[in-house]
Structure 1
């Protein structure tokens, strides 16, 4: 879903996937608003986008953990918007489970960044999307949210909660002609997986970004990326709890 009369709000714009998404969207003709914490990084990305694509690229600071600032953030986005507003949300944090076991504050922050932050912002943006009666919302979830596992159940539970919220938001915005797509990646080649021994290859951020843009506004509810994660998670989902709890992964 692209065109000169629309703007993509890219939240979490300093992540490799979001940075790649912003470049893909701008190359397809959309304006972009980059939102995140590291303003210097985003200014550099915005400059790169303008040089490469000629698109308009704005920068606005955003912190998922500061919901009191979210209303002002939305107002700033609307000032920079041109045409239909679309949203790509890629904010997330994934501490090691053992670290969260030792320090519950890390677990609380994981829930705040991965669930409460998105809910706060998307709840504020929902009336805007309903009023314009068009647009797309694409949010990065995770296959980790499909089943609670010993090795990452706090992170997984935050993504599971986000998935359920997006189901409800999808039903709400459907009646306004706005599509909501949840994208559930497996392993992605970012700082979250660097140095990890992975059972399956990590996908390049650029390919994930392109898949997100391809599915935006197309009526797709949930996307697993790469595709093979859907049958994998389907199989894991039917394992009885009395058996699954014995697994050490």
Structure 2
């Protein structure tokens, strides 16, 4: 089986960077996401620049009824599946808008569970493959500033943990990537602390390194592991008094 990456979330800056990195390492690439015409140019660039096969496929995480057909109709069977779909949303609006809150949950968690479960079953049967989920440090502890997004990422992290436990005997690798601040369209306009902020390209390098080394949980930047450890260890009586 040739090396093939399925990138779920090709519209995102992080997804595009991951696709470029894997293509540079000789992977054929399936780019999947909503409004697939938007990444036709990315597919062409990857094909020409790296001499790999590229495919563009429509995928909507919220349309669960289409996931089985999407899975079955792929033109190549992937060795690596990356779920990079994410939606930060507006925390303030989501407090009073159930549809917005559910959209955040679907993009970051329930849609991922639906589609990745299909690939988990296939990989388990063939006893090979890698599943990589782009979660977030926001899922390590609920905070008033983004607890709806954070709770979805917490669910995604727990799902990946359970999946890793289940698939370990089959030789299937499941990687949870927890970025901190990343300069993307999603964070545009936000004042991010420079020492704690990375770029999609650097994150993509970390993702590929984790794949090659068969890591399980990756914090990016690495300092976030220590930061989140401290935040998680704060007693609730003190934590509720913070402005995080």
TM-score surpassing 0.5?
yes
Q: Which consecutive residues of structure 2, in runs of 5 or more, have no partner in the other structure?
A: none
Q: Distance in 2 between matches of 1:76 and 1:206?
A: 30
Q: Do structure 1's residue 185 and structure 2's residue 179 form an aligned pair?
A: yes
Tell me if structure 2 keeps the 8 A contact 1:180–1:217. no
Q: Does 1:141 align with 2:138?
A: no
Distance 2:105 2:217 in 1: 21
- Equivalent-residue separation in structure 2 for 1:217 and 1:11 (angstroms): 20
Q: Distance in 1 between matches of 2:155 and 2:54?
A: 32
Of residues 200, 203, 207, the one that matches 2:202 is 207
Question: Which SS does the other structure have where 1:134 is aligned?
Answer: coil
SS at the partner of 2:177? strand
Match of 1:53 among 35, 43, 50: 50
2:12 aligned partner:
15
Give the CA RMSD over aligned residues: 1.3
1:216 corresponding residue in structure 2? 211
Cα distance in 2 for residues equivalent to 1:200 and 1:27: 28
In the TM superposition, what are the counterparts of 1:44-193 in structure 2 within 5 Å? 44-77=41-74, 79-81=75-77, 85-193=79-187
**2:133 counterpart SS class:** strand
Equivalent residues of 1:137, 1:216 under 8 A apart: no
Give the 3-state SS of the residue equivalent to 1:150 in structure 2. Answer: coil
Distance between the aligned counterparts of 1:124 and 1:71, measured in 2? 8
Per the TM alignment, residue 85 of structure 1 is displaced from its structure 2 partner at its CA by 2.0
d(CA) in 2 for partners of 1:41 and 1:210? 24
SS at match of 2:31: strand
Structure 1 unaligned spans of 5+: none
Query: Per-residue deviation at 1:132?
Result: 2.1
TM-score, normalised via structure 1 length: 0.94
Residues 179 and 217 of structure 1 are in contact (CA less than 8 Å); yes or no, is this contact kept in structure 2? no
2:36 corresponds to: 39
CA distance in structure 1 between the aligned counterparts of 2:156 and 2:180, rounded to whole angstroms: 16
Return the alpha-carbon distance in structure 1 between the equivalents of residues 41 and 147 of structure 2.
35
| Cα distance in 1, alignment partners of residues 105 and 83 from structure 2 | 16
- Offset, 1:149: 0.3
1:195 to 177, 189, 193: 189
> SS at the partner of 2:143?
coil
* Native 8 Å contact 1:136 1:217 kept in 2: no
Q: Distance between the aligned counterparts of 1:190 and 1:199, measured in 2?
A: 14
- Structure 2 residue corresponding to 1:246, chosen from 234, 241, 244: 241
1:198: how far off?
A: 2.0
2:21 match? 24
TM-score (norm 2): 0.96
Larger deviation, residues 148-157 vs 216-225: 216-225
